[in-house]
């Protein structure tokens, strides 16, 4: 087998970091904890947010910033639960941006009612590569992976798994119908990120939703602690 490696430009990331710090200062001033929630397309981020909101988040007042290439399908679902939601679309270009960056989030902040919430969940564009490269001023990062995607994803997309403190393994109701080894996934996550916390959930059966809701609800209290 032959191998070829391709160099990548990094210049844009410095500017992103500067804007991410400005976002962070705004969030700090408002006393809002921010979660950057990432995954591949169709892993179940929105369904998990719906279940957590339905389960209740204690005293924590949540708001959602929905990042999508196009449309407002997910924002419409969240708005149906009477939670403040802002839609951020990345599509006016040729095919749309594949991730949110700090400046996109910054452009949406005037529309986000920071004074009325304690926790802002930013649902990133479904993609396991670029979202991990652009900080947006978040306090914490979590990702969702579905058991239907296979156990090898931490090895193929290591930066994403490495950059998150929580990995939510979703759709575990499908395990009896898949050739999927949960212990192998745990080992692959640990190989790239030994510090990562791991939750198993099913938005369909409700398994693990209580632990997921509690994790979300606890984020504002942890704000300010090193991410």
Enumerate binding residues for its own copies (CB under 8 A). 1-10, 13, 40-42, 68-73, 75-76, 79, 85-98, 104, 107-108, 111-112, 125-130, 132-133, 146, 148-150, 152-153, 155-159, 171, 173-174, 177-179, 204
DSSP per residue, 90-141: --SSSS--SS--HHHHHHHGGGS-GGG-SEEEEE--S-SSGGGG---S-SEE
- Which region holds residue 71: left if phi is over 0, alpha if psi is between -120 and 50, else beta? left
Residue 3 or 29: the one with the smaller Cβ distance to its own copies is: 3
| Calpha distance 55→183 (Å, rounded) | 28
Place of tokens 């001023």: 137
Using N-to-C axis directions, what is the helix angle for 209-217 and 45-55, rounded to 10°? 80
Residue 4 or 225: the one with the smaller Cβ distance to its own copies is: 4
Residue 163 or 215: the one with the smaller Cβ distance to its own copies is: 163
CB of 9 to its own copies, least distance (A): 7
How many other CB atoms are there within 10 angstroms of residue 154's CB atom? 23
User: At residue 75, what are phi and psi to the nearest 5 degrees?
Assistant: -60, -40
CB of 25 to its own copies, least distance (A): 20
Residue 61 or 106: the one with the smaller Cβ distance to its own copies is: 106
CB of 108 to its own copies, least distance (A): 4
CB of 221 to its own copies, least distance (A): 28
CB of 102 to its own copies, least distance (A): 12
Residue 79 or 218: the one with the smaller Cβ distance to its own copies is: 79
């Amino acid at each position: 087998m032959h191998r070829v490696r391709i160099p990548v430009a990094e210049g844009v990331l410095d500017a992103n970091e500067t804007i991410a710090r400005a976002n962070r200062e705004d969030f700090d001033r408002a006393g809002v904890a921010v979660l950057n929630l990432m995954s591949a397309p169709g892993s179940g981020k929105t369904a998990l947010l719906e279940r957590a909101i339905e389960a209740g988040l204690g005293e924590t007042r949540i708001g959602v910033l929905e990042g999508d290439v196009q449309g407002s399908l997910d924002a419409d679902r969240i708005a149906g639960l009477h939670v403040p939601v802002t839609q951020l679309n990345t599509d006016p270009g040729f095919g749309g941006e594949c991730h949110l960056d700090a400046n996109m989030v910054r452009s949406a902040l005037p529309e986000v009612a920071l004074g009325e919430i304690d926790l802002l969940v930013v649902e990133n564009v479904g993609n396991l590569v670029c979202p991990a490269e652009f900080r947006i001023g978040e306090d914490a990062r979590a990702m969702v992976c579905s058991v239907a995607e296979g156990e090898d994803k931490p090895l193929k997309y290591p930066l994403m798994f490495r950059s998150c403190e929580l990995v939510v393994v979703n759709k575990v109701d499908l395990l009896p119908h898949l050739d999927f080894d949960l212990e192998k996934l745990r080992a692959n996550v640990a190989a790239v990120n030994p510090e990562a916390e791991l939750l198993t959930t099913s938005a369909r059966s409700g398994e693990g939703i209580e632990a997921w809701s509690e994790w979300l609800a606890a984020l504002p209290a942890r704000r300010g602690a090193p991410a």
